[in-house]
Structure 1
Amino acid sequence: MMNMAGSSEYLDMDTKELFRLYSDTRDVDIRNILIERHLYLARILAKKYINKGVDYEDIYQVASLALIYAIDRYDPGKGFEFSSFATPTIIGEIKRYFRDKVWTMRVPRRIQELSKKISNARVILEQEKKSNPTAKDIAEYLGCREEDVLEAMEASYSYQPVSLDASGGDDSDDKDLSLSDRVGVEEDNFRNIEQRDFIEKFMEKLNELEVKILKDRFFLNKTQSAIAAELDISQMTVSRLEKKVVEKLRKEYEKNI
């Protein structure tokens, strides 16, 4: 935990002003305050990868380090909101951790890379088709053979070894989910009920447009430009709305800790 004794002068400062000051001074006390103010981002994004065969604490550590990396690289002079800059940085580091550290069998690099492309393609195709894409759909989108897609999907089981008597216990249409994704659904729900309850109650306080921004940006990983095109508004408007939602979320989170 950071020592607040030498940094009390900064505690009441606006976050944007702190970023500008940190950019000029690289003061460690300011950096620590910025980290604490934005740790909620690391928590929320790390929660998305629970029940993937890796302990939440390990994912949270990766997300926290990525947050610090984002704070150090952030340039407030470029006009981007920090949350918009940090979110892809954190998600990217988490995905890189899974890709580079979690594969437990000797899966060829080309399969690992194709698996990543498949995951990205699935998100895009789901948004376009409003339904789960088939292996054939994904193969056509990526310009590869359907057999290669199926091979990569099967290889996704290599993320983490599981017991042979582990039960899938899921009737979803997501055929490429690993067994570790499907085991312990009830336990996962109990473990995440507090977080889910917080998010659901928070969304009740938002208007319809703000709820869409929150879901699209942080749960569906849509870009601001994609949301702007879908809503027929400017990207700047989406950016302002996102900033507003993130600030509301931060204040609501601080009230509940």
Structure 2
Amino acid sequence: MKSVAKATNSIKSIQSLKKMTDKELFLYYTNNRNIEIRNELVNRNLYIAEILSKKFINKGIDYEDIYQVASLGLIYAIERFDVNKGFEFSSFATPTIIGEIKKHFRDKGWSIRVPRRIQELSKRINGAKTVLHQKLQRSPLIKDIAEYLECTEEEIIEAMEASQVYTPKSLDLTYDNDGEDKDIQLMDLIGQTDKNFDFIENKDFLDKTVEKLNEVERKVLKDRFFKNKTQMQVADELQVSQMTVSRMEKKIIEKFRKELSKSLD
């Protein structure tokens, strides 16, 4: 309490804030929420936001944007920090700031990861568009951008197409259907998985597994599961007991189970 009182009495000017320790500032801010105290704490600890922001350079979002988000995370940390718990503020602030940065990446980052060179070229293209639009007094063509950036037109097109994955598009997005009464939705243009794929995969698995059965096992499999013969009928044809046929069935099923397990590994 004496420290709090001392800190309170010392808040008379900006110069007096400079002389206070971080602990004194936090003690005072916890009890009084003085905006000048918070600003001083932010200024003293901005280096933390700067260091953490640099870890996310060249990740698809401009450094300035990341730094702003990190600075906001720093303010959140200052608001929540309790100096009485004995933690170092930097240790407390770091996970809060990184959490805010990662949240920003989830909301604003590339929804599909593309090569860094494409991301960097995409940013350069955006800048070139602004410069060329002012210089040419019209929207720049692909050729104009390529010449300005000293790239090929194919590279410009590749980067511009890749930039479309920066944010996902809604499946409800509609397109004009060339004069038709009804517009087309994006979901109508997306291909569907061919149902025959599963059939082909299953058939291939069955064929390979059947090849590993002996002649008697193949007959039991065919008669029991394709011709729907009873165990007694199969047993009479093979001149064995019904119990033998039952055991053979279990053995065949076990072989299929093992082969299926191998195919899934």
Task: State TM-score, norm by structure 1.
Answer: 0.40
Q: Which has the higher contact order (CA 8 A, sep 6+)?
A: 1
- Which structure has the greater CA radius of gyration? 2
TM-score by length of 2: 0.39
